[in-house]
Chain A
């Protein structure tokens, strides 16, 4: 979406977010900024709260305090389907597809964003010819890599304003991961702001403009990928 205000205004901003599951607080004041057209990587060990952060941004989980801002507007508490219709595309961890629908039907579900099915299919099949060959196959029977491609196709075809990605690399061969991140960087160049969550840093650091390290529900460090290497290893060593 190009009607975002000048580059100084971040497209997605989390301000002092706290969030809980039931009575247990998982995020304790998270601040995060994703400027327009940039890729921000959110890294951290298991259970740090990365997925939770993403859920808050996507509207799946309402923060108990703090605010979510998109293009300067407060959207905390807005339902996920509203956000999705405003072209905030979220690809959740390891289950970005409907396993019992065919490839085509999966793509049809992306059309709630207002993009026509024809356009979605054209973009998806152009970028991923393998999906085109398997367009009537039930998505659950696709290989892991193909499933992730299908999920990504949605992010690609809808031309999202904001793209939220969780563990794109989970269970995939390095080659495919590289290909997918190539696409991420391509999407970013077209103006989409991307927040990507990863546990293993390697692949994503190549495409990220900024990286944030999260430990125990707090952002421990933010900076250029090269600057945060130390924090990152500390985080994984459990310091």
Chain B
């Protein structure tokens, strides 16, 4: 009995912290409509800031506490609202999720960069370490204080929301935003205040947790999952609900820890991870048990529809990819090859989001969990690397994907994202921690072996990955062009219409989830290398989803770009870790650390560009490819680069980096500044000439021997030569009379879509109607493009059309 009471007290004090965090989530979500995945990261940042102020700078406990909780954190929250969140208020749900997830990842790595995690950052207790004893139950002061703070927060929030005009306005904005404006209220300011308050509450919970035990950046960031679980009990909008949820969760966690024997198991399946998985389980159950979420009629429709490549262009693209990979792979030697291989391998995982997120508009935050399941299955069943075992593993992933999707069927947007996140955490503690599956925490996936041919070298492994990608890309294009694919996009664009028309989307939704899981799982099954359990955690999954969207998840090319980007970061780290920091020397944070932070900031930045980077790049590519002279110049640049590498004038990494610079910077640049054919370009030819002289001078004059080892110099040189290529291409383009050659714009229009990887082409009205008919939505998609009623402040005097 004593034990029970003791753990009840412990559970309640845990609950108190969850409740504070959860109430912060509720406040920001209900007033601004943005679910802050970075809420835990806010608390984590606050905990470390508190350490900085209190321990490093010696400010006494309570002044430091007040400074962090009441000043720094709210200012930070308000800043985030103003700079990031205000811009995405009307953005599609996917964008909102990805932006806050990115913020979370960015803050996580920022904290790790600032406060190295290999040393502890204990902050000390907030109150004297005494205790109260009532009827044999020990009540430590610390615990009582935490519970007291939670009660104070509850009362404070209640007063705020009931008795102050700001608080009432925060509720009013949920009811009717424009009516609040008509009353003279300022919704934007209200949202900013709510983010400030939310950040303050996150800070309280973060500092309280840090006072319990020295903070760890990752643990604190993900403790927020407990807050999600509690907040979801109140359907993300009710504060009493969130408090109730926190109590249930706190007690559940505490009792599981108390009464579950440490060696509990079902057969050989260990249950030791269960206490840590409880919040994820609760989150999943509560989400799934939610009453039917109402479909909202104003579901945001994506602004631009990404085109679908023909099967032929997809096949050509696949061929180009395989051959290109072979060319690059044969250039890069030994220890560097796995890095390239891994970059492409990430592409395989990001592309698994194309059907799910790109076509169907659903978000998953658990892709690497499926990859992990695929890897484990292959390690168990396919010791000899047989393709049959690969198929079996992929099948298992599809099945697991379907099983996860089934209860989550009614869910969309934020709830589905949370459900998948909880699945990822559940697997982290319950599956990937099984010592029988991952011996010593690692699992080794055997290389693929077909008819005696085994992918036993790094190069062969790279080619396996490339071929797998090519096959999957073609299958996806095939599916996208089928009636099923059209049904997917209809589900994304107009769930309400689908529902009203009585379309049964169950099988569609389960199917696309299974497909996505299968693709992610295939990456695990064919990986042919070993993994540690952390490789399958929530953090890498978050990064995958983030960069897939950054690249442009609507198309295979965009997702591939995202995957390559993700793979690029380790390459960057390894390149820059090896030698001097070069021109980056003036930055105090080492480049390797900057590189870990970058993905997060990229994700935040894409909030301004919901279509992804690839679609922008693709558009410029199209105009480049339509210009024969410009393409020729680019090809020549490639050839020079390749020959230089062959003759070992430049190193392999320089070659690789050069290829990337041309592909991702030079070519899009040329495409976007190409003048229309036939236009006079004397000025551009002059520019090209000047660039050339400049580049030759730099190459000739500078002291190569001392500078060549500096990465900064290499980057500079590469940019200069990139400028040369670009301006020559543009100059040459205008010098040839394209019309005379029969390659003018008129004929270009008849050439089949040149976007090899399938991004960019605008979908035509005919396509849309065809799609509508295919799923019985006649007329539904055929509607005028209506804008929002946002105030745009066009002053009078603007001439727009006539009556």
CB neighbors of A among B622-645 (8 A): none
Q: How many residues of B contact A (CB 8 A)?
A: 34
Q: Which of A21, A81, A89 has a CB less than 8 Å from the CB of B181?
A: A81
Q: Which residues of B contact A122 (CB under 8 A)?
A: none
From A77, A81, A101, give the contact of B172 (CB < 8 A). Answer: A101
Q: Are A25 and B787 in contact (CB under 8 A)?
A: no
Q: A65 near B800 (CB under 8 angstroms)?
A: yes
Does A128 sit at the interface, judged by CB under 8 A?
Answer: no
Question: Could you say which residues of chain B place their CB within 8 Å of the CB of A154?
Answer: 183
Chain A residues with CB below 8 A from B460, complex form? none
Q: Is A45 in contact with chain B by the CB < 8 A criterion?
A: no
Q: Which residue of B lies closest to A69 (CB)?
A: B796
Known A23-B785, A101-B168; judge A84-B184 contact (CB<8 A): yes
In chain B between 65 and 110, which residues have their CB closer than 8 angstroms to a CB of chain A?
none
B178, A109: Cβ atoms under 8 Å? Answer: no
Contacting residues, chain A, for B791 (C-beta < 8 A): 59-62, 77, 79-80
Contact (Cβ within 8 A) A74 B789: no
CB-CB under 8 A for A110 and B183, given A76-B795, A80-B178: yes
Within the complex, the shortest CB–CB distance from A24 to chain B, in Å, comes to 6
Query: Which residues of chain A are within 8 angstroms of B175 by Cβ–Cβ distance?
Result: 98-101
Considering the chains assembled together, what is the distance between the CA atoms of A79 and B184 in angstroms? 9
Q: Is A20 an interface residue (CB 8 A)?
A: yes
Q: Which residues of A contact B186 (CB under 8 A)?
A: 81
B182 touches A58 (CB 8 A): yes
* Contact between chains at B796 and A21 (CB < 8 Å): no
Q: List B763-803 residues whose CB lies under 8 Å from chain A.
A: 784-787, 789, 791-801, 803
Residue from A55, A65, A81, A113 in contact with B796 in the complex, judged by beta carbons closer than 8 Å: A65
Report Cα–Cα, A112/B182, bound state, in Å. 10
Query: Measured between C-beta atoms, what is the minimum distance from B172 to chain A in Å?
Result: 5
A63 contacts partner chain B, Cβ-Cβ < 8 Å:
yes
- Would A65 and B798 be within 8 Å (CB), given that A25-B803, A60-B178, A109-B169 are in contact? yes
A74→B795 CA distance, assembly (Å):
10
Contact indicator A23/B796 (Cβ below 8 Å): no
B681 contacts chain A at the CB level, 8 A cutoff: no
A182 contacts the other chain (CB 8 A): no
Residues of A within 8 A of B168 (CB): 101, 105, 108-109
Q: Are B183 and A64 in contact (CB under 8 A)?
A: no
Task: Pick from A62, A77, A89, A111 the residue with the most CB of B within 10 Å.
Answer: A62
A220 adjacent to chain B (CB < 8 Å): no
Bound CA–CA A232/B180 (angstroms): 34
Check if A134 is an interface residue, CB within 8 A of chain B. no
Measured in the bound complex, the distance between the Cα atoms of B284 and A224 in whole Å is 65
A80 to B179, CA, bound (A): 10
Contacts A67-B796, A92-B179, A101-B175; is A85 near B787 (CB within 8 Å)? no
Measured between beta carbons, the chain A residues less than 8 angstroms from B789 are 21, 55, 60-61
Is A96's beta carbon under 8 Å from chain B?
Answer: yes
Chain A contacts of B794 at CB under 8 A?
62-64, 77
Q: Which of B181, B786, B797, B798 is the most central at the interface, judged by chain A CB atoms within 10 Å of its CB?
A: B181
Q: How far is the CB of A29 from chain B (nearest CB, A)?
A: 6
Q: Provide the bound-state CA to CA distance between A154 and B172, in Å.
A: 15
Is B171 positioned at the interface, with any CB of A under 8 Å from its CB?
A: yes
Q: Give the chain A neighbours of B786 by CB distance below 8 A.
A: 21-22, 24
Assess A111 versus B165: contact at CB under 8 Å? Given A76-B795, A98-B175. Answer: yes
A199 CB–B CB distance under 8 Å = no
8 A Cβ contacts from A69-88 to B = 74, 76-77, 79-81, 84-85
Q: Flag if A90 contacts B182 (CB, 8 Å).
A: yes
**Is B185 at the interface (CB under 8 A from chain A)?**
yes
Query: Cβ of B795 and Cβ of A77 under 8 Å apart?
Result: yes
- Does chain A have a CB within 8 A of B176? yes
Please give, as numbers and ranges, the residues of chain A lying within 8 Å of B178 by CB-CB distance. 60, 80, 92
Q: A21-B787, A111-B165 are in contact. Are A98 and B179 (CB under 8 A)?
A: yes
| Residues on A with beta carbons closer than 8 Å to the beta carbon of B184 | 81, 84-85, 112-113
* CB-defined contacts of B169 to chain A, threshold 8 Å: 109
Please give, as numbers and ranges, the residues of chain B lying within 8 Å of A84 by CB-CB distance.
181-184
Check A66 for interface membership: any CB of B closer than 8 A.
Answer: yes
Q: How far is the CA of A20 from the CA of B803 in the complex (A)?
A: 11
Scan B142-185; emit 1 where CB is below 8 A from any A CB, else 0.
00000000000000000000000100110110111011111111
Which A residues are CB-close (under 8 A) to B796? Answer: 63, 65-67, 74, 76-77
Asked whether A119 is an interface residue with its Cβ less than 8 Å from the other chain, the reply is no
User: Quick one: closest A residue to B791, CB to CB?
Assistant: A62
Contact A62 B792 (CB under 8 A): yes
**Contact A109-B180, Cβ < 8 Å, known A22-B786, A60-B791, A63-B794:** yes
Asked if A95 is at the interface of the complex by the 8 Å CB criterion, the answer is yes
A40 to B587, CA, bound (A): 67
Interface string of A149-193 (1 = CB under 8 A from B): 000001000000000000000000000000000000000000000
In the complex, whether A18 has a CB less than 8 A from a CB of chain B is yes
A164 to chain B, nearest CB (A): 9
Chain A minimum-CB-distance residue to B169: A109
Q: In the complex where A18-B800, A64-B794, A65-B800 touch, is A100 in contact with B171 (Cβ < 8 A)?
A: yes
Q: Are A98 and B792 in contact (CB under 8 A)?
A: no
B174 touches A95 (CB 8 A): no
Q: Which residues of B contact A18 (CB under 8 A)?
A: 800, 803
CA distance A142 to B31 in the complex (A): 24
Question: Do A29 and B803 form a contact, CB below 8 Å, given A60-B789, A60-B791, A80-B178?
Answer: yes
- Report the minimum CB–CB distance from A63 to chain B (whole Å): 7
Residues of B within 8 A of A63 (CB): 794, 796
Q: With A and B bound together, what is the CA distance between A2 and B785 in angstroms?
A: 45
Which residues of B sit under 8 angstroms from A28, Cβ to Cβ?
803
Are A92 and B165 interface neighbours, CB within 8 A? Answer: no
Q: Which of A22, A76, A89, A100 contacts B787 (CB 8 A)?
A: A22
Top 10 closest pairs, chain A to chain B, by CB: A112-B184, A22-B787, A84-B184, A28-B803, A67-B796, A98-B175, A77-B793, A64-B800, A80-B181, A90-B182
6 contacts between A and B (CB under 8 A): A22-B787, A61-B789, A63-B796, A76-B795, A84-B181, A100-B174
Residues of chain A at the chain B interface (Cβ within 8 Å): 18, 20-25, 28-29, 55, 58-67, 74, 76-77, 79-81, 84-85, 89-90, 92, 95-101, 105, 108-113, 154
| B positions within 8 Å CB-CB of A | 165, 168-169, 171-172, 174-176, 178-186, 784-787, 789, 791-801, 803
A21-B787, A55-B789, A109-B169 given. 20 additional CB < 8 A pairs?
Answer: A20-B787, A21-B786, A59-B791, A61-B789, A62-B794, A64-B798, A64-B800, A65-B798, A66-B796, A76-B796, A77-B794, A77-B795, A80-B178, A81-B184, A84-B182, A98-B176, A100-B175, A108-B165, A109-B183, A112-B185
